[in-house]
């Protein structure tokens, strides 16, 4: 099972992952993994196929002011594209706001 959990910073994504999907391996802070890969000139979009079978948490970074710095803008766009690719493949997509989970795709286990 592949699960994508998105939401703002410090909204309770990790706790939701622990409570609902304790038996699945987790990849946390996907947005930071993408940042690191971009700095190393690697293609983060290649992760879409390798993250199957995991619970993935990622901060929503696409809302708000568009960054002035080109590298930050590229990072933001890449995270969004990767989340879209993961959401298509995922069995469940969960958005967490103030600790409350909302299932966008799939159902609560």
pLDDT, one tens digit per residue, over 49-100 is 899 999 999 999 977 777 788 899 999 999 999 999 999 999 999 999 999 9
CATH of the domain at 13: 3.40.50.300
**Structural domain for 83, as ranges:** 3-105
Q: Give pLDDT tens digits for 8-54.
A: 999 999 999 999 999 999 999 999 999 999 999 999 999 998 999 99
Number of domains composing the chain = 1
Sheet with 26-27, strands from edge to edge, namely: 26-27, 55-59, 3-7, 92-97, 100-105
Give me the pLDDT at residue 25, please: 97
The Cα–Cα gap between 7 and 70 comes to 24
Higher-confidence position of 94 and 109: 94
What is the predicted pLDDT for the residue at 48? 92
Q: What pLDDT score was predicted for residue 63?
A: 77
pLDDT of 67: 77
The pTM for the full model equals 0.93
């Amino acid at each position: 099972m592949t699960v994508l959990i998105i939401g703002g910073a410090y909204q309770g994504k990790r706790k939701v992952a622990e409570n609902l999907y304790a038996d699945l391996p987790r990849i946390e802070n996907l947005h930071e993994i993408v940042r690191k890969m971009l700095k190393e000139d690697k293609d983060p979009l290649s992760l879409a196929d390798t993250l199957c079978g995991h619970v993935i948490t990622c901060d929503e970074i696409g809302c708000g002011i568009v960054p002035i710095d080109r590298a930050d803008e590229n990072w933001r766009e890449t995270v969004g594209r990767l989340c879209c690719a993961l959401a298509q493949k995922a069995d469940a997509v969960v958005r967490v706001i103030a600790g409350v989970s909302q299932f966008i795709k799939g159902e609560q286990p």
